[in-house]
Amino acid sequence: MVDIEVIAVGGYNEVGRNMTAVRVGKEIVIFDIGLYLDPITGSNNVDMENMHSLDLIQMGAIPDDTVMNSVEGTVKAIVCTHGHLDHIGAIQKLAHRYNCPIISTPYTNELIKQQIEGERKFSVMNKTFALKAGGKYTISQSLTLEFIRVQHSIIDSVMAVLHTPVGCVVYANDFKFDMTPVIGEAPDLARMREIGKQGVKVLIVESLNLDDRGYSPSEQVARLRVRDAIMRCEDDKNAVIVSTFASQIARIKTITECAREIDRIPVLLGRSMERYNTTAEVLKQVAFPQGTSIYGNRKTTDRMLRRVLKEGKDKFLLVATGHQGEPGSMLSRIALNETPLKIEKGDKILFSANIIPTPTNYAQRAEVDRLLIRQGARIFDGLHVTGHAYYQEHYDLLAMLNPEHIIPSHGPFSMKAGHVTLGSEFGYALNKEIHIMQNGDRLVLPK
């Protein structure tokens, strides 16, 4: 009988640079090859496109996959569950070392292709393959991949199931169970129950929000919060700028629809706004209201902002990058007076995002807030819900899948420890069925 080994390559000490390898006998499947942005945003003049992977590994920005050199077997596939950078952002730096296809959902696949096209240092020849949620892909005679529909803070997210001769390996990183999503359908819980009946050898599962009780709020809750804030701007003559995650397509759909409700023209501003939203539109995964426009580069965004000044701030609703205070983002440039748009007393800045908890983000965002407030802006926070499952969703997942082993992933020890409490409710014990791993650790599962 074949043995299963799990190799924790990245994302087991931090919230970022996710990468897990699973060896089944002599065949290996890699799940995610992500980026950890903090070491990059924290240092000056990082030209990532031209950097060598070993330098990026040394910085701690991408997974240290040198551990793979000592794993005996052939990598048969790279699988990505969704399009966030901490899951796909280092593919262009590491995938060329493995002679195998990259498999992901259609939206994620487009984003991966764009990353590979933008790479300057390495030529990445791996084939990319789009597999829809609900679909299956034969990796080899003994391995089949299946994608199951879940929700997250980006469209087209899935849970990956690897069918092996000795049971399923389930990779649930990242997910939430949103029964009333704004885009797409509810999670395919029926299929998860079936997989549980077939037998799950190991569940590799994210750990971000285990400290939160109950269920994570639906994206419909964010929609209500955003709509409430925007409807209050109906008779406002001031600028209304909403900042949210450029890849949160469902949220941007909400914001643009609310803008139309108060007769403002929605305008998306910033490079990543253009990239993620145009890609979603082209793939017909979202339809924004008529009249919505998107501008990416500095020249076109500045031209648009001159038009806003000329025709009236009250005619438009701007959706801008920069909720983490990122240098060079639209909101940072507006705060620094580097665009034609001047902030005046009473202009509203709505944040439909949380601050991703890293020291760099806290510092940069505080600076942007300070600059905006000094110019008279009114700041509105918290128009947001998370994309990560809370404690009771994790409970439901365990009840459905009934895995033999649990490996918490995606976070430092303090976050992963929540799975020990949860697991104990089902009789799982630490180091027996629950395994807390660190980057670089390898674990052969007991048969």
User: How many angstroms separate the CA atoms of 351 and 321, rounded?
Assistant: 10
Minimal CA–CA distance to 88: which of 174, 176, 195? 174
- Residue 86 labeled ligand binder: yes
- The stretch near Zn ion (CB under 5 A) out of 76-84, 278-286, 300-308, 376-384 is 76-84
Min dist. Cβ of residue 287 to Zn ion (A) = 24
By CB under 5 A, is residue 264 in contact with Zn ion? Answer: no
CB-based contact 177:386 (threshold 8 Å): no
Dihedral angle at the C-alpha atoms of 44, 45, 48, 49, nearest 10 degrees? 170
Within positions 408 to 447, which residues make up the interface with Zn ion, using CB under 5 A?
A: none
Peptide bond before residue 174 is cis, with ω within 30 degrees of 0: yes
- The stretch near Zn ion (CB under 5 A) out of 83-91, 92-100, 296-304, 329-337 is 83-91
- The stretch near Zn ion (CB under 5 A) out of 168-176, 185-193, 225-233, 343-351 is 168-176
- Residue 236 labeled ligand binder: no
By CB under 5 A, is residue 14 in contact with Zn ion? Answer: no
By CB under 5 A, is residue 32 in contact with Zn ion? Answer: no
Min dist. Cβ of residue 151 to Zn ion (A) = 11
User: How many angstroms separate the CA atoms of 136 and 244, rounded?
Assistant: 33
Contacts of 55 (CB under 8 A, 6+ apart): none
Which two tokens mark 130?
């789009």
Nearest residue (beta carbon) to Zn ion = 84
Q: Which is nearer to Zn ion, 84 or 191 (CB)?
A: 84
Q: Which is nearer to Zn ion, 146 or 174 (CB)?
A: 174
By CB under 5 A, is residue 84 in contact with Zn ion? Answer: yes
- The DSSP string of 1-68 is ---EEEEEEESSSSSS--EEEEEETTEEEEE------HHHHTSS---GGG--HHHHHHHTSS--GGGG
By CB under 5 A, is residue 174 in contact with Zn ion? Answer: yes
User: How many angstroms separate the CA atoms of 404 and 65, rounded?
Assistant: 27
- Residue 84 labeled ligand binder: yes
User: How many angstroms separate the CA atoms of 270 and 144, rounded?
Assistant: 39
- Residue 263 labeled ligand binder: no
Q: Which is nearer to Zn ion, 84 or 149 (CB)?
A: 84
- Residue 152 labeled ligand binder: yes
Q: Which is nearer to Zn ion, 286 or 305 (CB)?
A: 286
By the criterion CB under 5 A, which residues form the site for Zn ion? 84, 174
Q: Which residues are annotated as a binding site for Zn(2+)?
A: 82, 84, 86-87, 152, 174, 410
